[in-house]
Amino acid sequence: MCTQDNSIPLECFSNISENAGSFQAIQWIRSQLAVCSSSPDHASCQSERIPRLPARVLELVGPTQVRLHVSKQNEAARYACLSHCWGSVQPLKTTRETIENFQRSIPWQDLPQTFRDAITVVDQLGLKYLWIDSLTIVQDDIEDWRLEGSKMAEIYRNSYVTISATSASCSNSGLFFDTPLAYRGRPIRLQRSNKKVYVRES
């Protein structure tokens, strides 16, 4: 606990995670979602209405088991979205040829690393559904693209959380990276004296 004396112990400060896939990182995401759910400053986030699912979402059956779920009319549930760069390597896609098989199961080994990592995050957050454009829109069906592509702004707006693969140049890059040494946090101790606060390296 933080004390009221002249020194503030290191325990008063949260450790900054050095990897985006760490336990601390997931706990930080949980804490931010809790703020959105309860803070008066986030009133616009606190709709009691559970949004309708997009036409298709990935359904997490297990930590490494996923399939394409075709939503029923007005089916509602919280879901996550993945925002990612396709890059020069085309990600795994749903097509008219694969859609039926994907509704049974999408082989884990066929999923690119960014998709796997996103599924891992969603699973750890306790969510069941994930929307990824290349797998939830039939890529070789122009009419499906016109219909579902026109809904993308709404899909992202209604997601419970959106995972952004900002450091990934393509779908094979993954989400979880180690922070370069030069940018890692280091512990400091704050000490009060004469009503001023001084920073002292540990």
Q: What is the mean pLDDT of each run of 10 residues along the chain (202 residues)?
A: 41 56 75 75 67 96 94 94 85 95 96 93 94 96 95 94 82 73 64 56 45
CA atoms within 13 A of residue 169's CA, in its CB half-sphere: 2
Nearest to 131 by CA among 102, 152, 145, 110: 152
pLDDT (0 to 100) of residue 23:
74
Which residues 6+ apart lie within 8 Å of 60 measured at CB? 66, 119, 122, 123, 127, 128, 129, 130
pLDDT (0 to 100) of residue 44:
66
- Taking CA atoms, 186 is separated from 6, 183, 191, in Å, by 21, 9, 16
Total number of residues shown for the chain: 202
Nearest to 141 by CA among 112, 101, 98, 175: 98
- The domain segmentation of the chain, as residue ranges, is 1-38, 57-176
pLDDT (0 to 100) of residue 17:
66
CB-based burial, 7-39: b 16+ in 10 Å, e otherwise: ebeeeeeeeebbebbeeebbeebeeeeeeeeee
Nearest to 83 by CA among 178, 151, 148, 175: 175
pLDDT (0 to 100) of residue 2:
39
